[in-house]
Structure 1
Amino acid sequence: MSANLLEIDGLSVSYGKVHAVREVSMRVPVGKIVTVIGPNGAGKTTLLMAIMGLLPGKGEIVFDGHACHRAEPQRRVEMGMGLVTEKRDLFGSMSVEDNLVLGSFRNRREGKAARLRELERVYGLFPRLKERRSQLAQTLSGGERQMLALGRALMAKPRLLLLDEPSLGLAPRIVREVLHAVAQLRDAGISVLLIEQNARAALQTADEGYVLELGEVVLRGPTSQLLHDPMVESTYMGMLKE
C-alpha cells in the first residue's frame, strides 16, 4: 500500500481564460496533516474544490491507489473524502446533535448503534458539542460552529478531511483551539489537507506544507523547515500572523 493517501499530479483549473491553478502536484501521506498556505487569490480554495470534484480540472488525482479525477463528488465521499468549507454550511434552526446525525447519512445502513458510536467518538473529540447537544446551531459561538462543522464531517467516517480556512473569522485564542482539534484528528488516524491563510498557525499544526502563489506551488517541504524559511518568514509571517 502506498504511503500516500492522496496523490495529485499536474492539476490545473481554469475559469475561462484565467488559470486559477497551474500544474499543481502534491502528496498527502497517510495519517498526516498537509497544509497549503498563500495569499488571497492564490488558488487555495479552487484547488480544494477541484480535489473534491466540485470544479472541473485537468490532471491526475489518485486516492488510496484509485484514480478519481473523473469521479463525481458523491463518489469521492463514498471513497472516503470529507469536506468542510469556509462557510461551514450548518442548519442553524436544528440542534447540534441533529446536525451531527445528518452527517452520518452516508452510513445510514449501518444502523442506530453504529451512529451512536460515531456520535460518542465526535463528542470525545469535541466535549463542548456534547454539552451543547440540544442547543440550536445558530446559537453557537464561531469556534463552536467550526467544531460542529468538523464533527458533522467526521460522522461520515472520512479517511481524508479537506478543510478550507477553518480559522476564518475566529479570534486568535479560538484559532488555537480549533487547530488543536485538527491535530487530534491526525492522532485519531485521519489524514488532513488544510487550506489556510493564517500561515503561522497552519505551519505549527501541520507536518508538511506547500506555498501557493498565483496558482503555482513555489515552495514545499516539512513545516519545521518552512517555519524558518526566509521567504516564508518575510512574506507570510508578518502578514498572516496570529
Structure 2
Amino acid sequence: MNGPRITIDVDEKPVVLEVRDLSVSYGKVGALHHLNLKINKGEIVTVIGPNGAGKTTLLCALMGLLPAQGEIVYLGELQGTERQVEKLVRQGITLVPEKRELFGEMSVGDNLLLGAFDRYRVGHRDELETMDQVFDIFPRLRERNEQMAGTLSGGERQMLAMGRALMAKPKLLMLDEPSLGLAPLVIKEIFRIIVQLKKTGVSILLVEQNAHVALQVADYGYVLETGEVSLEGPSSALADDPRVIECYLGLPGKPRLAR
C-alpha cells in the first residue's frame, strides 16, 4: 500500500502538563529562561538543582502565583496568562509549598477540610469520604485528628500538608522540597508515600534538593541550574551521569546510584 506510514505508540501515556519556553523574571532579573518540561499521567517527574536555581519559582509560576511568559498546556488546553489559583485547584492542580503553610491553631481534621473547601463550594459533598481516603494513606493523621496542627512533629506536618492537598482530589500534585528539615527515617516514609500516591494515578511534580531520594522515586528528571535546564532524562540515566553524581549525589567515583 502506497502513502505515508503512521506509527502508533500504544505505550504512550497522555500528557498532563507541558511547559514550553517558560520564562520568569523578578523585575529585570531573569529567574527562569526558556524552560521546557513535560509530565505524563501517573508519572513522577523531579526537578533537582542547587538553592537559587529557580525550582520554587517554577512551581509558583505553574500555580499562577508569579507572572510568566511562554506556554503552559494542562490536559491538552493552553492556559491563559491570567491564571488564578482557585481555578487551577478546581482544574486539578495542587501545590504543597516548602513551608507547608498549615493553620497551627486549627486541628488536623479542620486543616484537611480546608483542602476540600473549593470542591464543597461548587457542590461536592464527599469531603468526609475523601478524608477517610487520606487517613488510609496517612494513618498517623487519623490518630492526630483532634490535635492542633501547630503541635505536630515536622514529619507529621509534612503529611498533613500533603493530605490537605489530596483533599482537593488533584490530577497533578506539586511538591516543593518535601524532605526539608526531616530526619532520614521520616524522609524514607514520606517518599514511600509519594510512590504509593503514584500508584493511584495522580501525576507528581517533585521539586527536591535531595537528588539521591528524588531520583530513586522519579520516572524522569530535570536538572535546573541558574534558571535553565542543564540536563534531563530518565531518572536512572541521570543517576548514572557522572556530572550528576559529582555535583548532586555527593558520591564521587561511585558508578551507580542504588535503586
Q: Same fold (TM over 0.5)?
A: yes
What is the CA-CA distance between 1:211 and the residue it aligns to? 0.2
Q: Which amino acid aligns with 2:250?
A: G
Question: Is 1:57 aligned to 2:68, yes or no?
Answer: yes
Q: Which amino acid aligns with 1:169?
A: G
Q: Which runs of 5+ in 2 are unaligned?
A: 1-11, 252-256
- Aligned equivalents of 2:43, 2:72: Cα separation in 1: 18
- Aligned equivalents of 1:162, 1:117: Cα separation in 2: 23
Question: Is 1:134 aligned to 2:146, yes or no?
Answer: yes
Runs of 4+ in 1 over 3 A off after TM superposition: none
Aligned residue runs from structure 1 range 22-33, under 5 A? 22-33=33-44
Indicate which of 82, 105, 108 corresponds to 1:96: 108
What is the aligned length? 238
- Aligned equivalents of 2:80, 2:242: Cα separation in 1: 35
Indicate which of 196, 220, 223 corresponds to 1:208: 220
Question: Is 1:123 aligned to 2:108, yes or no?
Answer: no
Question: Is 1:15 aligned to 2:26, yes or no?
Answer: yes
Question: Is 1:168 aligned to 2:180, yes or no?
Answer: yes
When normalised by structure 2's length, the TM-score is 0.89
Alignment partner of 2:111: what SS? helix
- Aligned equivalents of 2:185, 2:140: Cα separation in 1: 16
Alpha-carbon contact 1:9-1:24 (below 8 Å) kept: yes
Which deviations, in whole Å up to 9, do the C-alpha atoms of 1:122-152 show, x marking residues without a partner?
0011111111111111111100000000000
Alpha-carbon contact 1:2-1:65 (below 8 Å) kept: no
Q: Which amino acid aligns with 2:166?
A: L
Which deviations, in whole Å up to 9, do the C-alpha atoms of 1:46-100 show, x marking residues without a partner?
0110011100010000000111142222211111100110110111111111110
Structure number with larger C-alpha Rg: 2
Name 1:73's counterpart in structure 2: 85
Indicate which of 161, 175, 197 corresponds to 1:149: 161
Name 1:48's counterpart in structure 2: 59
Cα RMSD after superposing both structures:
1.4
When normalised by structure 1's length, the TM-score is 0.95
Name 1:38's counterpart in structure 2: 49
Q: Which runs of 5+ in 1 are unaligned?
A: none
Alpha-carbon contact 1:48-1:162 (below 8 Å) kept: yes
- Of residues 1-10 and 42-51 in structure 1, the stretch that sits farther from structure 2 once superposed is 1-10
What is the CA-CA distance between 1:182 and the residue it aligns to? 1.1
What is the CA-CA distance between 1:2 and the residue it aligns to? 6.7
Question: Is 1:225 aligned to 2:225, yes or no?
Answer: no
Name 2:7's counterpart in structure 1: none
Alignment partner of 1:22: what SS? strand
Identical-residue share of aligned pairs (%): 56
- Aligned equivalents of 2:200, 2:135: Cα separation in 1: 13
Name 1:177's counterpart in structure 2: 189
What is the CA-CA distance between 1:158 and the residue it aligns to? 0.7
- Aligned equivalents of 1:97, 1:58: Cα separation in 2: 38
Alignment partner of 1:232: what SS? helix
